[in-house]
Amino acid sequence: MNFCTLGRYRGGLSLKLGRSGSNSGLDLVVLPLQDTFNYIAATSIMSTSKKVITREDWEKKLNDAKIRKEDMNKLVMNFLVTEGYVEAAEKFRMESGTEPDIDLTTITDRMAVKKAVQCGNVEDAIEKVNDLNPEILDTNPQLFFHLQQQRLIELIRNGKVEEALEFAQEELAPRGEENQSFLEELERTVALLAFEDVSNCPVGELLDISQRLKTASEVNAAILTSQSHEKDPKLPSLLKMLIWAQNQLDEKATFPRIKNFSTAALEDPSI
């Protein structure tokens, strides 16, 4: 993470972050852009060609958009906390004085769960989640099923065929009875047992490490939600919005775009 880059970000989006009525609201006010749209709409009636905005004009407009440093810091902190970079968050807190919107110790717990799933210790992960908040798995049948499914996958991976079959019957089959789509997923998983060379079978991707990551991120999201925290960091969606806004504007005007998001450099409009 390059904080400097973020510091230089001066796009036409005015940001309002943090607890405004609700603590999860990312209230994006796209005022300067909207003004630009209106302005272009008014002038483009005269000419059919796209309106050209020079670098000078654009920078002037960008400078008019006031963005508070504190808001930017909150955005960074939100990213670190949600993604679970607890040490970085701690350091950033000390350096910038930004208070995280979540108890940092809970991040350690959450990361321990995530890591357990990533390493294939699913039973351990389940117990950890239940210690953290028993409600999570009791009220998320889909997540609970996916964790149990992951447990089955790990048993199969380790060649414990008998134990796997017993586990599937005992723990997973009743869930399949409750929900048709679970049953289909269970059948797919048990199919792993039918192949000698699992790495080359149609359901082989279940054994892939990406399956663990998928399950781990599902648990991570559920824990965040249970802590009244949004499951996704705000920063990526902000970047998506920036791209969207640039594309919208591009239809009406030629302007200095940001193409390289790691440097956030303005590229001169090609005329």
Partner 1 sequence: MPSSAACKRPENLVEGLSSKDPGTRLKALRDLKNQIIGNRTKKLRYVKLGAVPLVSEMLESGSESVVLVQAIATLGSFGCGLDAGVEAIVKSGALPYLFSTLANPDEKVVEAGARSLRMIFQSKLTPKYNILEDKEMDFLFSLLNSENETVTELAASIIMHSCETTEEQKALCGSGVLDKLALLLEGSSNQRDASLDSLASVVKNNREVVSKFVGLHNGKVLSSVNGLTKDRSPRTRLLACSLLIALGRACPSQLQDIESKADLVRILVELVEEPGRAGDEAPRALGDLIEKSEEVQKLACSVNAVEKLCKFLHKGSIQAKPLAGILHALAELCSNLEDNRRLFLSLQGLPLVAEMLNHESVGVRIAACICIRNISRSVKNLSDGLTDKSIVIPLIHLFDDPSIEVQVAALGATSNILVHFTTHKSIVFECGGVKQLVKLSSSMVSELRVNAVSALRNLMFQADKMCKENIMLELTISTLASLICDPEPFVQEHALVLLRNLVNGNVDCINYVFAEDGLIINAVTRQVWNASSVGICIQGIYVLANIAAGDEFHKEEVMRILFPLPEDGRNQSILIKFLQDSSSPKLRVATLWCIINLSHLDSPGAVDRIARIRGAGITCAIKIMVNDPCLDPKVLGPSLGAIGDNWPK
For partner 1, the binding residues (CB under 8 A) are 21-26, 123-124, 126-127, 130, 133-135, 137-142, 144, 171, 174, 178-181, 226, 228-230
- For partner 1, the closer of residues 125 and 253 by Cβ is 125
> How far is 97 from 95, CA to CA, in rounded Å?
6
Q: Left if phi > 0, otherwise alpha if psi is -120 to 50, otherwise beta: which for 28?
A: beta
From the CB of 128, what's the least distance to partner 1, in Å? 10
From the CB of 153, what's the least distance to partner 1, in Å? 17
Residue 20 DSSP one-character state: B
From the CB of 254, what's the least distance to partner 1, in Å? 33
Length of the chain: 271
Both structure tokens of 153: 């996958």
From the CB of 130, what's the least distance to partner 1, in Å? 5
- For partner 1, the closer of residues 192 and 222 by Cβ is 222
| Structural contact between residues 32 and 57, judged by C-beta atoms closer than 8 angstroms | no
From the CB of 188, what's the least distance to partner 1, in Å? 15
- Residue 25's SS3 state is coil
- For partner 1, the closer of residues 83 and 171 by Cβ is 171
Both structure tokens of 117: 């799933």
Give CA torsion, residues 129, 178, 153, 214, to 10 deg. Answer: -60
> How far is 54 from 254, CA to CA, in rounded Å?
8
- For partner 1, the closer of residues 134 and 236 by Cβ is 134
Tokens 């117990």 map to which residue?
127
The span from the first CA to the last CA of the chain, in angstroms, equals 34
- For partner 1, the closer of residues 226 and 246 by Cβ is 226
From the CB of 79, what's the least distance to partner 1, in Å? 16
Tokens 């781990």 map to which residue?
216
- For partner 1, the closer of residues 56 and 170 by Cβ is 170
